[in-house]
Structure formats: structure tokens, C-alpha cells
Amino acid sequence: AASSLEVSMPAVVEAEAGGTARIECNFYPPGNGSSTSISWFYVSMDRNNRVRLCRIAGSEILEENVDYKGRLSVGEDQALSISRVTVQDARTFVCQVGEGSHVMGENQTRLHVYSSKPCQAPCSPLPMGAPHVLRALCATQIARCVSRNSFPPPNITWHKNGKQLQPEENTVKMPFTLTRESSGLYTVSSTLFAHVTREDRHSLYHCSVHYWLRGQRRTAESRRVNITVFYPAEHVKLQVVPSSALVKEGDDVKLVCEADGNPAPVFSFFKRGLDDVWHDLSSLTDTSSGVLNLHDVNKNSSGLYRCQTLDLDDMRQLEKDVELVVNYIEGVRVKMEPSSPLREGDSVRLSCNAHSPLSLDYQWRDEKDRKVAEGNQLFLSNLTFETSRNFSCKVMAPSVPGLEQSKQVAVAVQGKPRIVSISSPLYVRQDEVVNLTCKAIAFPRPSVHWNVNGTAHEYVENQHIASNLTVRVSHDLLRAGAMCRVSNALGVSEEHIQLLDQKIPESKGVIIVAIIVCILVVAVLGSVIYFLHKKGKIPCGRAGKQDITRPEARKDKIVVEVKSDKVSEEAGLLQGANGEKRSAADQ
């Protein structure tokens, strides 16, 4: 009878803890199967025997197991549903179909329960208890990885720089522990032990937790961690900052010493003296920094420097030397030929020289810092007082930017004073207060004297000297004028200032009076003629030209000729005093 019924069930059913598991049981009984019943069992894991879960008759659940009471239900298709699944429900369930007391067929399903609570996935695995500081060439604990609240138990793997690690004897070990909690969930921890070297100072380690969820294998990764590895120094490097080839006098220089050990060793600095003895410079630096600071260096700072390291763990010493070269320019001097005092019209040659281990360029500049020539010589010809000025020789080292020195030289042209400007002639009035000006140029600096009394003010600009004399014009000063006298040790120059009276000369006054009289005479004559014309006393002819004479005219009498070009004007002249017109016969 048991072989007369085929029961079909899935081999595995998966459910998440807290959810509902649905286990189908399909069978095909002969006849109408009205007396068929279903019994459900589960297989106890500890004793490996069957425990009755329930019996189903029709759509009713009978003889329900106490552990599952209130969590079982049956659908129309006779499928059994288990609600509020726990990890303890992960077991084998058996569906047995019978008729009466006869078993007609059965089958079984394995229920897999997955849990990731309380993280909704295996809690992100974090390396814990990593010592971080390891001694090279030792096998020690790197980190510990823990995953909690998972079901079934997950698997933990370790990775270094993204590559999975495998256990190696005496090199890599990864022991783990598995703990079943009271909730039925599992906590898994794994500890990585590894043999590290100095190359591992940049390595990144992490662990991965592999678990099952809803039939799929999933992975959660921890954050990457870096470890600190202690190892002795093998190499030491000493360098000049900035580059020794560019160091010049006045610079601030650093000697930087670096060692590849961890932790950094103790640094000491030395300089070799002229007697080949090494002088300790540790007092000038911090022994832990590895930097020697040299301020405002000069050529005496050049020499051989040494950095020495000491590893306090194994007392191992390393050392490195470097040559410091301080570039310089010194001994800048300017030679003037001829060296004797210069006079106006002379010529002079300036030569500039300096000492330096580098190739030098020379440039000449005036006192306004304008470039006047290049090369180490400057030739000046036809010198004048105006040429007298300060020149500077600028010496530069093109291979070392900013390395330069300058030397100034004064080109002084000597001679007796030369008066370049006076206020002459000067128009003045007697008793007026005026300013007399005298300007001269000379070297050595001259003095200015006046032959008249007054208040003098002197102004000096470059080689020029100007004197302003404030004086009241007297009769004697107006007649004789003033004398400006400029002198120095090489000679004297004098200039006379002529004063002219501003009153109007007599001859010019006579001419002006004559002109004014003539203008008045003409004005009076014009008035008389106009008056006679208005009174009708002056006859005019139509021909356009009449001679107006008096009886007994004489040759010395003035004859006035009147011209008329327009008829309308003639008609106006022929009118009488009452305004009436006259005929030609009346005239």
C-alpha cells in the first residue's frame, strides 16, 4: 500500500528567520481519496528520530506539536506553512500520507533558515585588537575579525593588498572560533598571524565574511587596515636644500638627512675642519629631526658635512657625507685712469675687477640705476662739470641667480667756477625790492659773493649753486648795477647785472602828446563840418564835385572837396532848413 502512492516534495526550502516557511506535499491517491490523511514529522537533530508535528484531516490541523503551537497553517493545496521561523526550525520535515492506519507514501524536505539579525546581513566584519605596531622578521598577530548573529555559520577569509592569504607553516596562520549563541545564531571570529617585513609597511589587510542568504552566497568585507612595522635603517641619504650648486653667500641652507628605518634613528651632524678633524654640530640641530639649519652662509661655510645615524634598538650606525659649496663674489674694486684730478675736457677710463670661482659678467650703471655700458671697462671722454656723477660697477654670476656685488665710484671734474645764469638786464624802479639771481657750476664747491648789501639765500643742486640776493634799489645801485663773484680754490668768475629804470623816456612822451593833440583837432573839425551841413550852409553840386570858396579866397585857405556818388544823398543836401526841397535855380 505504501508503494501505491507517489508523494512529491521539494528537496530544500529556504526561509529567513522571522519569516514564513511554506513546505509543499503533493500526492496522487487512487480513487477519490476521501479517507486520506496527512501526518507531518520533523527529524530531531540530537537523537535523529522522528517527532510528530501534526496530523491534518481535510483542512483541519489535529494533534499539533506543543513547540509549534500557533505557528502552523494549511493551505488549499495541503501545503504546510510555518510562521515566525527560528534558526531552531532548520531541520528535516517529513510528509506522510495514509488511509486509515495504512501508510500509502511519504517524502521529506530540508528546511534551511538564514539569519542576519540584528544587522539585516552579517554584521560588517571589523578587524579587532590589531596591535598595528609589529617588529619586522617576527610572526605576530596582525588583526582579529569577528562576525556575529549569522545562521548558518559563515566562513572568514583574510586578504593582503586584495590578494587572499592561505595558511603557510610558520608564516601565515588563521585560527578561528565558532560560538553558538542562545538564540541559535553563530558568532565566528578569526585571527590573522603573519610574518612581516619592512615591505609590509604599506600593505593593507582586510577580512571577508562569506555567508548564505536566500540560496545565494554573499560576501561582506571589512575596512582596510595598515600596520606599523618597526625595522632598522639600511640606507641613509644626505642632501643640501636648495641644491648646493645654487647656494650663495647670505642664503639660509638646510642639510636634510633621511634614513629608511622605522622609527627614525638618532641623527648627528659633523663638519670636517681644515685640520681633517670632524667637529660636532649636534648642538645646532634637533637630533630627532634630521635637519641641520645654516643661516646667512658665507664662503667659510663651504666644506664637507657628515650625517650619522644611530638605531637605538640594535645600536647600528650609518653615515653619509655631502659637500657644501657656497658661491661668492669678493674683492670688487674699480680703478680710474688717470687717477689725477680731472678737468673739463679730459677723458677717463674706469676698470672693474672682482674675484670669484665662477664666470662673471660686468655692468655699469649711473646714479639713477640706468644701465650705461656692459663689460668691465667704461670710457668717458670730453668731461664737463655736468658729467660729474657717481657710477657703479655691478658684478654678476649668471650661473647662480641673485649672486651679485656692486662697487661705486665718483667721477669728479674739477675746475674754476662757470656762471651759467644771471638775471641781467633787469628792469626795476627806484626804492623797489627786487631779487638778483646768480647760478654757477664748479667743483670743488664754490662760494658766491655780491658787491652790494642785501639778504642772500643759496641753493645747491648736484654740481650747481644758485644765490638769490634780495635788495632795495637805490640811486647808486640803479646807476652802477651789481656784481656776482663766484670762486673756489681753482679760480674766480664774475658777472655784472645791469639794472634799468622802468620810467617812460621824455622823447617818447612828446610823441604821445602830439598824437593825442592831432586826434583832438580832427575830432573838432569833423564836428564843425557836420554842424554846418545840418544848417544848410555847405552847398553841393549835382555834378558830384563842387569847389567851396569864400570871398577873396587866398592860397593859404583850406579848400574842402566834397564828393557825392548817390542821387538820394544830393537830394538830402538840397533840402532847406524847414525841410522843403529847393530847385537848382534857387541854389
pLDDT at 547 over 50: no
CA distances to 504, 515, 516, 520, 521 from 510, rounded to whole Å, are 11, 9, 10, 16, 17
| Percent above pLDDT 70 for the chain | 83
Residue 542 lies in a domain: no
The β-bridge relationship of strands 26-27 and 225-226 is unpaired
Residue-wise pLDDT for 63-76, tens only, equals 778 888 889 888 87
pLDDT at 271 over 80: yes
Residue 354 · residue 387 · CB < 8 Å: no
What pLDDT was estimated at residue 147? Answer: 86
* Mean pLDDT, rounded, for 301-314: 87
Q: Are residues 107 and 18 in the same domain?
A: yes
Residue-wise pLDDT for 219-253, tens only, equals 888 888 888 888 888 889 999 988 777 899 999 99
Domain boundary among 293, 308, 324: 324
Q: Are residues 102 and 13 in the same domain?
A: yes
Where does the pLDDT of residue 196 fall: very low under 50, low under 70, confident under 90, or very high at 90 and above?
confident
Which domain does 210 fall in, by range? 140-226
Residue-wise pLDDT for 507-546, tens only, equals 556 677 888 888 988 888 888 888 887 777 665 544 444 4
Distance of CA 323 to the CA centre of its chain: 34
Residue 122 lies in a domain: no
**Collapsing DSSP states into helix, strand and coil, what is residue 526?**
helix
Give how many domains the chain has, as a whole number. Answer: 5
Residue 68 lies in a domain: yes
What pLDDT was estimated at residue 538? Answer: 61
Higher-pLDDT residue of 510, 290: 290
Q: Are residues 108 and 12 in the same domain?
A: yes
Residue-wise pLDDT for 351-392, tens only, equals 999 999 999 999 999 888 899 999 999 999 988 887 767 899
Residue 520 lies in a domain: no
Residue 476 lies in a domain: yes
**Rounded Cα distance, 183 and 419, in Å:** 120
**Rounded Cα distance, 28 and 8, in Å:** 9
Residue 120 lies in a domain: no
Where does the pLDDT of residue 483 fall: very low under 50, low under 70, confident under 90, or very high at 90 and above?
very high
Domain boundary among 482, 501, 520: 501
Higher-pLDDT residue of 547, 333: 333
pLDDT at 160 over 90: yes
Higher-pLDDT residue of 452, 560: 452
Burial label, 274 (beta-carbon count in 10 A; 0-12, 13-18, 19+): exposed
* Mean pLDDT, rounded, for 499-508: 69
**Rounded Cα distance, 307 and 309, in Å:** 7
- Please give the order of strands across the beta sheet that includes 377-380: 330-337, 348-355, 377-380
**Collapsing DSSP states into helix, strand and coil, what is residue 384?**
coil
pTM, two decimals, is 0.52
Question: Mean pLDDT, the chain, as a whole number?
Answer: 81
| Percent above pLDDT 90 for the chain | 35
pLDDT at 275 over 70: yes
What pLDDT was estimated at residue 508? Answer: 59
**Rounded Cα distance, 264 and 77, in Å:** 77
> 129's torsion region: left (phi>0), alpha (psi -120 to 50) or beta?
left
- Top mean pLDDT of 35-44, 123-132, 137-146, 478-487 is at 478-487
Q: Are residues 436 and 461 in the same domain?
A: yes
pLDDT at 260 over 80: yes
Residue-wise pLDDT for 96-143, tens only, equals 988 777 888 889 999 888 875 433 334 444 554 444 455 555 567 888
Q: Are residues 12 and 108 in the same domain?
A: yes
CATH of residue 162: 2.60.40.10
Residue 279 lies in a domain: yes
